[in-house]
């Protein structure tokens, strides 16, 4: 007897899988058969996916919300599709694309149409991701030109840093105590000292 499963993936721990889970619930997939993974799809070293793959048997049905849940690039999506349909003998249903339902059209024409649609969608999906990354890169470069700073906000020296620094030099307080007084981590405290020492040597700074 065949079983019905679902694979749900989000790329980061911060992303929400609710939209995919709602779709699987509407498709009447039993909760115990829904495999949820929060991990990047850049490779397939994914424990949940592998666990599900071992459980799948011929004639089982696997639901996914969209084709890019199977991988992050054209080759990987096609490879996983072939593993599932040819090696495992599993049917796949892509909810966002009704044409990609291997339960339908199992004759030669139906298989050909499904393969063509899959190839096209995989190619489009990968190119869209490449375009998004390029737009992000261009946006960051444009923002840098405008003076936008990225990364952690800089921690400024407290007004009494000179006194704290002098006490630390005289070994009246430890580096950790000095860092605490400045509201820095010890690493940040040492980095600030190094920067100030370099500026002092070059004549740009004095305590």
Residues involved in catalysis: 11
Q: With the C-alpha atoms ordered 179, 182, 185, 187, is the resulting torsion angle positive or negative? A: negative
Instruction: Give the residue from 78, 86, 83 showing the smallest Cα distance to 115.
Output: 78
CA–CA distances in Å: residue 13 to residues 39, 79, 128: 7, 26, 22
* DSSP helix/strand/coil, 43: coil
CA 175 to chain centre: 38
Alpha carbons 50 and 2: distance in angstroms, whole number:
19
- Alpha-carbon Rg for the chain, nearest whole angstrom, is 28
| Pair 164, 178: CB distance under 8 Å | yes
Query: Assign residue 92 a region: left if phi > 0, alpha if psi is -120 to 50, beta otherwise?
Result: beta
| Pair 142, 124: CB distance under 8 Å | no
Give the end-to-end CA distance of the chain in Å, rounded to a whole number: 80
């Amino acid at each position: 007897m065949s079983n019905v499963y679902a694979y749900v993936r989000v790329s980061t721990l911060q992303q929400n899988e609710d939209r995919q889970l709602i779709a699987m619930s509407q498709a009447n997939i039993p909760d115990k058969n829904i495999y949820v993974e929060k991990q990047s799809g850049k490779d397939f070293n994914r424990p949940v996916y592998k666990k599900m793959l071992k459980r799948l048997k011929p004639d089982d049905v696997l639901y996914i919300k969209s084709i890019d849940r199977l991988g992050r690039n054209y080759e990987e999506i096609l490879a996983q599709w072939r593993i599932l349909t040819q090696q495992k003998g599993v049917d796949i249903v892509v909810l966002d694309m009704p044409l990609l339902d291997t339960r339908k059209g199992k004759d030669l024409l139906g298989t050909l149409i499904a393969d063509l649609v899959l190839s096209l969608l995989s190619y489009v999906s990968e190119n869209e991701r490449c375009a998004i990354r390029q737009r992000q890169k261009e946006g960051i470069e444009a923002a840098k030109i405008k003076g936008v700073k990225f990364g952690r906000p800089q921690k400024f020296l407290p007004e009494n840093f000179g006194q704290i620094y002098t006490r630390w030099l005289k070994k009246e307080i430890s580096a950790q105590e000095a860092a605490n007084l400045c509201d820095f981590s010890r690493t940040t405290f040492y980095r600030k000292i190094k920067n100030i020492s370099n500026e002092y040597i070059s004549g740009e700074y004095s305590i």
